[in-house]
């Protein structure tokens, strides 16, 4: 069985939402957007033990904390699940309980309301489904909140709706692993613990061992009397007692130490799991292991329970907690292989990697209510992203916006400079991490429209940073059409030219010095180029090159920059992420007098304003295109 659809009304961050599910579902969204609320909503319907919890529902669980309508009638929380993909055993079990089947069209992904006979099931595009629901509202008579789970047969008369019982729910093999995972609670012997469920599932009985433990515990206090001095002390106390409370000779008193509460529960509740490592002198309590080990231990126990369940619906909240990347991917694949259907919420790209892009469910807030949407990937876009850029798109899933740049040099520079801004903690000028932006290099300016077309399915703001060169100017209009904001460098320039023109000699010299340390061939070409044009002596020292640059710079900065650009970019093809990071590092050194390139600062100002919604044109409409000036 699987959940095909959820309809959620008035629960926490959900006002009203209808959500279609797949067999694998990755829930992605910002903090506090409603991922946990969606998992908890499913849990309210399917958890066999949820209804027994005290204070299961409070006023805080109602959307907007609204428990009553204006006419003082109670507001109802209602969560309804459409269940499909039934096995023959499922059909036999639920046929009478569900009160008949509804007809679900697989292609249209909805029930066929007019289907009144079994004839619709002759069509292979249709299948049998039924509904289960949770309802909660304030009871005026009892003066408390009441809740129940049921089969919603009748909307007119709720008394006709039969109860959806714990025995019915156990057919689903439902598991929910929350982000807070207490290893001691997992391994207690209480009724609802994972360990106790495992014992019942495998029919393991510990009554004989428990009786032996009680018998052994009764003898523990006698160990103290093995110390002669301690025993003599107790006898002296008893003799003194007899002076005040004299007894006949047949009623001699003794003072002993014993364990109390020697019932099964009294002993078992004090047992805690410990991990013993071979070679270690003593075992160490599991609760004091590292966070990753604790989480993996809880997950391992769930796996053993899920392995024996044919129908398993697995809810997993933030599996990445305290786990390194390889283990995150491993656990995700294990969940996918074990479960008939899984729901995973995460903030980690490593958790997202094993999922197909069509299995992603984006959660957003609109008018304070959580909305769920699937990314709209075309078939061509799916193949393009899966084949070449899945890791970068996975990063973008967790973003608030995507910044498209032309190539690796732009990516390296803006990443480095952005980190500097974030590290300084500026209030009004924030870097990409603070803004929640992902940078994606597109190989060239002409490729940006292709990337933008495929990435629009994520329904995130797209920002393009582009050069303004005559050879690629024809792509500008299509980029402007595809992206929410396009920022272009000044006429006939690109990033490299802007940096050269707007950098000091100290910054250019520092950049070349780092190139010299990394690539000697680049240094030699630079040196020869400047030596031939400025009568530098034959010595090939870095200081000679820097002196040559300074000499040309003092007389004609533009000429110096052109020469540097031609040598670095045109002749040597030094275009890489590392090259961009080297440029960026020149502006990330906190020293008095460092001057930031004017156009680079402008780019970040425009992006900050755009994401804040304050970038407007003269008519007061959102500004979509900005051309910088030198």
Query: Can you tell me the mean pLDDT for 472-492?
Result: 93
Q: Does residue 609 share a domain with residue 563?
A: no
Among the candidates 245, 271, 297, a domain finishes at 271
Q: 327 in a domain, yes or no? A: no
591: pLDDT strictly greater than 60: no
Q: For residues 268 and 266, what is the distance between their CA atoms, to the nearest angstrom?
A: 6
Asked if the structure places residue 453 within a domain, the reply is yes
Render pLDDT for 355-378 as a digit per residue (tens, 0 to 9).
Answer: 988 999 999 999 999 999 998 887
pLDDT over 50 (residue 602): yes
Per the confidence metrics, is the pTM higher than 0.75? yes
Q: Provide the terminal-to-terminal Cα distance of the chain, rounded to the nearest Å.
A: 63
Smallest Cα–Cα separation from 547: which of 517, 509, 510?
509
d(CA 290, CA 295): 9
CATH code of residue 457: 3.40.50
Report the mean per-residue pLDDT for the chain: 85
Residue 559 is predicted with a pLDDT of 66
Tell me which residue range forms the domain holding 146: 2-182
Is a pLDDT exceeding 50 seen at residue 536?
no
Whole-Å CA distances, 119 to 93, 94, 124: 21, 20, 11
Q: Note the pLDDT of residue 54.
A: 85
pLDDT of 608 = 95
The helix, strand and coil proportions of the chain, stated in percent and rounded to the nearest 5, come to: 45, 20, 35
> Are 615 and 482 in a shared domain?
yes
Q: 450: which residues sit within 8 A by CB, 6+ positions away?
A: 384, 442
Q: Which residues contact residue 395 at a Cβ distance below 8 angstroms, ignoring those fewer than 6 apart?
A: 349, 438
Q: Which residues of 426-460 are buried (b: 16+ CB within 10 A; e: fewer)?
A: eeeebbbeebebbbbbbeebeebbbbbbbbbbbeb
- 482 and 507 assigned to the same domain: no
Q: Please, which pLDDT band fits residue 572 given cuts at 50, 70 and 90?
A: very low
Q: What is the DSSP letter of 62?
A: B
Instruction: Give counts: helices (H), strands (E), the chain.
Output: 24, 20
Classify residue 510: in a domain, yes or no.
yes
Question: 495 near 413, Cβ under 8 Å?
Answer: yes
Residue range 432-451, pLDDT digits in tens: 999 999 999 998 999 999 99
Q: Is the dihedral of CA 316, 318, 324, 325 positive or negative?
A: positive
Same domain, 562 and 445: no
Pairing of strands 24-28, 341-345: parallel
Asked if the structure places residue 307 within a domain, the reply is no
Crossing angle of helices 520-534/505-518, nearest 10°? 130
In a domain? residue 308? no
What is the structure's pLDDT at 552?
58
Question: How many independent structural domains does the chain possess?
Answer: 4
Distance CA 28, CA 374 (A): 10
Q: Quick one: average pLDDT of 154-172?
A: 86
88 and 174 in a single domain? The answer is: yes
Residues 14 and 147 reside in one and the same domain: yes
Determine which of 126-130, 313-317, 416-420 has the lowest per-residue pLDDT on average: 416-420
Residues 116 and 165 in one domain: yes
Residues 462, 512, single domain; the answer is no
pLDDT digits (tens, 9 = 90+) for 231-268: 899 888 888 888 887 766 555 667 777 777 677 777 88
Query: Do 44 and 6 share a domain, yes or no?
Result: yes
229 band by pLDDT with thresholds 50, 70 and 90: very high
Are 424 and 448 within one domain?
A: yes
Residue 106 included in any domain: yes
At 357, give phi and psi (nearest 5°).
-60, -25
| pLDDT tier at 92, thresholds 50, 70, 90 | very high
Categorize the per-residue pLDDT at 139 as very low, low, confident or very high, splitting at 50, 70 and 90. Answer: very high
Residue 303, in any domain of the structure:
no
Residue 398 scores a pLDDT above 50: yes
Model confidence over 60-86: pLDDT tens digits? 999 999 999 999 999 999 999 999 999
pLDDT of res. 537 = 47
Look at residue 222 in the predicted model and tell me its pLDDT. Answer: 83
> Of all helices (H) and strands (E), which one includes residue 423?
helix 408-424
Last residue of a domain, one of 217, 247, 271: 271
Are 573 and 622 part of one and the same domain? no
Tell me the CA distances in angstroms from 494 to 403, 488, 566, one per residue in order. Answer: 17, 9, 13
Does a structural domain hold residue 351?
Answer: no
Give the model confidence (pLDDT) of 495-525 as tens digits. 878 887 787 766 776 676 666 665 556 556 6
Position 153 pLDDT exceeds 50: yes
Task: Report which secondary-structure segment, H or E, holds 230.
Answer: helix 228-244
Is residue 23 located within the same domain as residue 89?
A: yes
Query: Mind listing the pLDDT tens digit for each residue in 320-336?
Result: 999 999 999 999 999 99
């Amino acid at each position: 069985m699987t959940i095909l659809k959820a309809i959620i009304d008035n629960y926490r961050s959900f006002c009203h939402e209808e959500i279609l599910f797949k067999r694998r579902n990755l829930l992605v969204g910002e903090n506090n957007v409603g991922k946990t609320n969606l998992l908890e909503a499913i849990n309210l319907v399917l958890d066999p033990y949820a209804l027994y919890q005290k204070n299961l529902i409070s006023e805080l669980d109602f959307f907007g904390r609204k428990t009553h309508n204006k006419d003082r009638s109670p507001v109802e929380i209602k969560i309804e699940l459409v269940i499909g993909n039934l096995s023959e055993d499922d059909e036999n079990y639920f046929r009478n309980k569900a009160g008949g089947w509804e007809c679900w069209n697989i292609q249209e992904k909805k029930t066929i309301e007019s289907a009144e006979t079994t004839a619709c099931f002759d069509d292979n595009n249709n299948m049998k489904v039924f509904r289960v629901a949770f309802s909660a509202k304030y009871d005026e008579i009892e003066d408390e909140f009441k809740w129940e789970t049921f089969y919603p047969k009748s909307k007119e008369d709720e008394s006709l709706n039969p109860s959806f019982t714990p025995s019915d729910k156990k057919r689903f093999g439902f598991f929910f692993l929350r982000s807070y995972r207490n290893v001691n609670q997992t391994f207690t012997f209480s009724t609802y613990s994972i360990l106790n469920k495992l014992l019942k599932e495998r029919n393991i009985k510990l009554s004989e061992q428990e009786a032996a433990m009680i018998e052994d515990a009764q003898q523990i206090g006698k160990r103290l009397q093995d110390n002669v001095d301690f025993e003599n002390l107790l006898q002296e106390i008893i003799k003194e007692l007899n002076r005040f409370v004299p007894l006949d000779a047949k009623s001699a008193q003794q003072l002993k130490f014993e364990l109390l509460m020697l019932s099964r529960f009294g002993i078992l509740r004090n047992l805690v799991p410990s991990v013993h490592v071979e070679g270690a002198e003593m075992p160490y309590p599991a609760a004091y292991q590292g966070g990753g080990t604790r989480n993996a231990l809880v997950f391992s126990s769930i796996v053993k329970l899920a392995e024996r369940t044919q129908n398993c619906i697995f809810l997993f909240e933030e599996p990445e907690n305290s786990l390194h990347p390889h283990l995150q991917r491993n656990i995700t694949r294990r969940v996918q292989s074990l479960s008939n259907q899984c729901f995973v919420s995460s903030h980690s790209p490593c958790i997202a990697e094993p999922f197909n892009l069509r299995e992603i469910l984006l959660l957003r807030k609109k008018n304070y209510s959580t909305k769920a949407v699937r990314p709209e990937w075309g078939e061509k876009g799916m193949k393009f992203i899966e084949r070449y850029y899945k890791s970068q798109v996975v990063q973008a899933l967790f973003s608030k916006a995507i910044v498209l740049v032309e190539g690796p040099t732009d990516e390296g520079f803006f990443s480095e400079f952005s980190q500097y801004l974030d590290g300084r903690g500026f209030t009004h000028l924030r870097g990409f991490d603070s803004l929640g932006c992902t940078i994606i290099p597109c190989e060239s300016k002409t490729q940006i429209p292709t990337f933008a077309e495929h990435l629009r399915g994520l329904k995130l703001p797209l920002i393009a940073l582009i050069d303004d060169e005559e050879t690629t100017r024809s792509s500008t209009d299509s980029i402007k059409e595809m992206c929410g904001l396009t920022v272009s460098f000044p006429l006939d320039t690109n990033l490299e030219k802007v940096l050269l023109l707007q950098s000091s000699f100290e910054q250019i010299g520092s950049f070349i010095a780092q190139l010299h340390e990394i690539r000697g061939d680049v240094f030699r070409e630079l040196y020869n180029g400047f030596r031939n044009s400025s009568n530098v002596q034959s010595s090939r020292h870095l200081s000679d090159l820097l002196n040559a640059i300074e000499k040309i710079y003092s007389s004609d900065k533009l000429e110096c920059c052109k020469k540097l650009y031609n040598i670095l970019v045109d002749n040597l093809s030094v275009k890489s992420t590392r090259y961009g990071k080297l440029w960026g590092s020149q502006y990330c050194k906190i020293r008095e007098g460092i001057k930031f390139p004017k156009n680079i600062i402008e780019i970040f100002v425009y992006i900050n304003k755009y994401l804040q919604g304050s970038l407007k044109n003269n008519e007061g409409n959102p500004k979509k295109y900005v051309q910088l000036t030198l």
